[in-house]
Amino acid sequence: MKFRGGYNVPVAGMPSRQVEVLGEPDVLYLPRWSARFRFSDLSVEEGQRVSPGQVLAKDPGNHSVPLLAPRAGTVRLDTADHVVLEGVVPEEQEPYEPREGLPHVPKDAGSGGMKRHKLMVLGAWQYFYDAHTKMLPDPFGTPRAVIISTLRLEPFLVRGDVQMEESLTTFTRGIEHLQSLLEYQPIYLVLPDIQSELARRVRESVRGYAWVKLFEIPLRYSLDDFAVLARALGYGQEAESPVWGLYAEGVLAVDRALMHSAPCSSRTIALGGPEVGAPVHLEAMPGYPIDRILEGRLTGESVRVINGGALTGRKLESGQLGLDSECAGLTVLSEEIEREFLGFLRPGSDRRSYSRCFLSSLFDRASGRLKAAVRGEKRACIACIQCEQVCPAGIRPHVIHKFLYQDLLENAEQARLDLCVGCGLCSYVCPSKIELYQQFMTAQETVWEEQRAVETTE
Ligand code: SF4
Ligand code: SF4
């Protein structure tokens, strides 16, 4: 299989393979939003005592996916965008107790339907993606195929191999549960290097599962993107019959929900970036206080915390107090407000570039201290086509940019704006620091809104 584009951004601060379990918190701040969800339907009241796994709020725009209480505690609603749990009780003192029955399940749903309901109420459905749109798929829809990506190549998101290595048996059992939701559709297991020791163990563990197909890809960001993988496997976008995508943590969540009937109330996140003293993986629960996570771990004073990876993450909002329910990593970069002493003697030594045109290209690539500052580098497009070289979607970002710059949205659509998977590589490599990624995401949103408006008027 031939892949186009991709590039591994050299950034210092890769999290170690160690998974550190964070201590039990006294208070949890659960944001009522995440990358895909808006938990606008509150299910609890001020002062209410909740038990572990209880529904705190739901997202009515996403099949009512729930925000669950990771621990027992007392609800406080005085911050508009969070559900705060005070007096949090450690898991060993008040563990999860399964509730009686499940919500209404359609009579014809069968055992597969019961399982899907279980995934929803126990918080595991959140880990499913529509491979092409990255949105939450319909829990009762039928996929054409399932793609399990064991990778996360963006610096720095939680690495699937770290999670799998810890619990390969659980992972394999999760794939079996996943298969029980399907009829005959294939499951593609994406591995980075099929000859590695972990790949050998994975291959051994799924031996005999004819419906699992191993799929090797080059180790280049963002070839692990679900849309890139689906297209490489020959699956185009079909709204009625999507391709489901899951990361390794999603498979573990499926096992937890269907094997143990337990809610998915904690997740592994990566904490990395040049400004983290000892980058590591952390096991934390949604709502865990971010201040407490970062305390004593940062090397610089003026830092920018990114919620997500260095390329597609967003600056952590100042009002966000706890981890959101989809967080896969925190990346910490230097804001660089102060000038470096005698910095003019080594111009470009701290600037990373795809074209390797700065002095930094002479140094070790892994030591690049990516910073948040643009430092006056914004310029017009110089038609260097570096963005085209790295684009995994095979489109021409500089051409689409020029159409959008002139408000020619239809021309941008004809140039296949829809194929952009939003990996952010074009913005990273652009020597003129044009914000292509943000421009394309906004334009795609405009196109989708127009399409939705047309569908509702029809
Ligand atoms: S155009 Fe889209 S898919 Fe291509 S590099 Fe840019 S963000 Fe990635
Ligand atoms: S990388 Fe930037 S400057 Fe180069 S062609 Fe693309 S948009 Fe233009």
104 pLDDT higher than 60: no
Helix, strand, coil tally for the chain in percent (to 5): 30, 20, 55
318 pLDDT higher than 90: no
pLDDT of residue 431: 87
Q: Do 121 and 248 fall within a single domain?
A: yes
373 pLDDT higher than 70: no
Q: Do 309 and 237 fall within a single domain?
A: no
Give me the CATH number covering residue 273: 3.10.20
Is the Cβ atom of 398 under 6 angstroms away from ligand 2? yes
pLDDT of residue 313: 94
Angstrom distance (rounded) from CA 378 to CA 136: 36
Residue nearest to atom 3 of ligand 1 (CA): 420
**Do residues 370 and 310 lie in contact, with contact meaning Cβ atoms separated by under 8 Å?**
yes
Q: Do 287 and 336 fall within a single domain?
A: yes
Q: Do 245 and 274 fall within a single domain?
A: no
Angstrom distance (rounded) from CA 132 to CA 242: 8
302 pLDDT higher than 90: no
Is the Cβ atom of 396 under 6 angstroms away from ligand 2? no
pLDDT of residue 10: 83
Tell me how many degrees the CA angle 152-156-160 measures, rounded to the nearest 5: 30
Q: Is residue 243 part of a domain?
A: yes
> Which of 306, 336, 367 is the last residue in one of the domains?
367
> Which of 239, 264, 289 is the last residue in one of the domains?
264
Q: Is residue 435 part of a domain?
A: yes
What is the band of 199 on the pLDDT scale with cuts at 50, 70, 90? Answer: confident
Q: Are strands 187-191 and 41-42 parallel, antiparallel or unpaired?
A: unpaired
What is the band of 349 on the pLDDT scale with cuts at 50, 70, 90? Answer: low
Is the Cβ atom of 429 under 6 angstroms away from ligand 1? no
427 Cα–ligand 1 center, Å? 8
Q: Do 357 and 451 fall within a single domain?
A: no
Residue 288: closest CA among 324, 319, 259: 324
425 Cα–ligand 1 center, Å? 6
> In this prediction, what percent of the chain has a pLDDT beyond 90?
66
pLDDT of residue 339: 63
Angstrom distance (rounded) from CA 418 to CA 347: 39
Give me the CATH number covering residue 143: 3.40.50.11540
Q: Is residue 433 part of a domain?
A: yes
Q: Do 123 and 218 fall within a single domain?
A: yes
Q: Do 320 and 410 fall within a single domain?
A: no
Angstrom distance (rounded) from CA 137 to CA 244: 7
Q: Which domain holds residue 392?
A: 386-457
Q: Is residue 17 part of a domain?
A: no
pLDDT of residue 281: 95
105 pLDDT higher than 60: no
Query: What contacts 332, CB < 8 A, 6 or more positions away?
Result: 13, 271, 272, 273, 274, 275, 276, 294, 298, 303, 304, 305, 306
81 C-beta neighbours (distance < 10 Å), count = 14
> Which of 231, 264, 297 is the last residue in one of the domains?
264
Q: Do 295 and 416 fall within a single domain?
A: no
Single-letter residue type at 248: A
421 Cα–ligand 1 center, Å? 6
Mutate to test the pocket of ligand 2, among 434, 437, 439, 440 (most ligand atoms within 8 A of CB): 434
Single-letter residue type at 339: R
Angstrom distance (rounded) from CA 147 to CA 417: 23
Q: Is residue 72 part of a domain?
A: no
More reliable by pLDDT, 12 or 108:
12
Residues 66-102: pLDDT tens digits?
Answer: 999 999 999 999 887 999 999 999 999 998 887 655 4
Average confidence (pLDDT) over 215-239: 93
Query: What contacts 159, CB < 8 A, 6 or more positions away?
Result: 15, 17, 151, 152, 270, 281
Q: Do 227 and 315 fall within a single domain?
A: no
Q: Do 129 and 145 fall within a single domain?
A: yes
Q: Is residue 76 part of a domain?
A: no
Helices 197-205 + 168-179 axis angle, to 10: 40
Single-letter residue type at 367: S
**Do residues 189 and 148 lie in contact, with contact meaning Cβ atoms separated by under 8 Å?**
yes
Residue nearest to atom 2 of ligand 2 (CA): 430
Query: What contacts 331, CB < 8 A, 6 or more positions away?
Result: 13, 155, 156, 270, 272, 273, 305, 306, 308, 309, 310, 313
Q: Is residue 253 part of a domain?
A: yes
231 pLDDT higher than 90: yes
Which of the residue ranges 24-28, 148-152, 165-169, 308-312 would you say has the lowest mean pLDDT?
165-169
**Do residues 167 and 206 lie in contact, with contact meaning Cβ atoms separated by under 8 Å?**
no
Q: Is residue 452 part of a domain?
A: yes
340 pLDDT higher than 70: no
How many domains does the chain divide into? 3
Q: Do 442 and 302 fall within a single domain?
A: no
Angstrom distance (rounded) from CA 354 to CA 138: 39
More reliable by pLDDT, 151 or 68:
68
pLDDT of residue 343: 63
Identify the three-state secondary structure at position 436: helix
H or E element that contains 187 = strand 187-191
Phi/psi at 283 (5° precision): -100, 115
103 pLDDT higher than 60: no
Q: Where are the alpha helices (DSSP H) in 122-159?
A: none
Identify the residue whose tokens are 């459905």: 125
Q: Do 170 and 257 fall within a single domain?
A: yes
